Amino acid sequence: MLKMTAIRKSYFLGEEEQVVLDQINLSVNQGDFVAILGPSGSGKSTLMNLIGCLDTPTGGEYYLSKQKVQELDEKELAAIRNREIGFVFQQFHLLPRLSVRHNVELPLVYAGIPEKEREKRATEMLARVGLEEKMEHRPNQLSGGQQQRVAIARAIVTEPTMLLADEPTGALDQKTGRQIMDLFHQFNKEGKSIIMITHDSEIAKNAGRVFRILDGHLREEEADC
């Protein structure tokens, strides 16, 4: 589903090249649950942006669903993001003036889905995350855990092949974080691939495969026996 080979990402500060990622190799199959674990400044946010087609690599090859990402223009990158990837962020990124249901509908608006179908699918997804009674609330009327569940419903409403989660429990208490991980396990059992970016080794243990990133280099941890 996803394959990165010898990926490199660098930026120039004046004439000096700053290498953020170097020789990254990563393959993710359909149904994998992957954690990418690393401290602040390790390159994990840059890698997340590349995986999510929010940025393109300086070197190497990246294939997502058999498409070479570097060969896609901005319109095609936006289309593959909308079709293949559901994003879940630490800070939720919900629009405060919209109801919960309308927040979940947003990706469907961008995808050109008719209004009645948008409402039906958003309602179904909110029921799946246990928030059907909160559909007409505003985000600021919800707890942090409820807002994250809204963000997850928004991420899966387009039925993407992959969930890409950036520190999805970072703003939550432990109990609420476990509830979010339970949702991820549920979706993973249904065949969705999950790639989770985190600095928390305990959260990373939820994944079937764990990669550690440090100073722009990535390696897979050996599975526990």
Q: Which residue from 169, 214, 193 is spatially nearest to 36, judged by alpha carbons?
A: 214
Domain range summary for the chain, segments of one domain joined by +: 2-219
For residue 12, the surrounding DSSP H or E stretch is: strand 2-13
| Confidence band for 225, pLDDT divided at 50, 70 and 90 | very low
What is the spatial distance between Cα 138 and Cα 127, in angstroms, rounded to a whole number? Answer: 17
pLDDT number for residue 139: 94
pLDDT in tens, 150-194: 999 999 999 999 999 998 888 888 888 888 999 999 999 999 999
Distance of alpha carbon 173 from the chain centroid: 20
SS3 71: helix
The pLDDT value given to residue 79? 86
Fold for 2-219, please state it: Rossmann fold (3.40.50)
Q: Quick one: which H or E segment has residue 51?
A: helix 44-51
Question: How far apart (Å, rounded) are the C-alpha atoms in residues 218 and 225?
Answer: 22
Q: Which amino acid is at 57?
A: P
Is the whole model's pTM more than 0.85, yes or no?
A: yes
Among residues of the chain, what percentage have pLDDT more than 90?
Answer: 65
Q: Which residues pair with 85 in a beta bridge?
A: 162
Q: Is the dihedral of CA 96, 102, 104, 105 positive or negative?
A: negative
52 touches 28 (CB < 8 A): no
10-62 pLDDT, tens per residue?
Answer: 988 888 888 999 999 999 999 999 999 999 889 998 999 999 999 889 999 99
Q: What are phi and psi of 189, to 5 degrees?
A: -65, -25
What pLDDT sits at residue 164?
94
Give the number of other CB atoms < 10 A from CB of residue 163: 23
Position 89 scores a pLDDT of: 85
Q: Strand, helix or coil at 224?
A: coil
HSE (CB half, 13 Å, CA atoms) of 81? Answer: 20
Model confidence over 61-74: pLDDT tens digits? 999 988 899 888 88
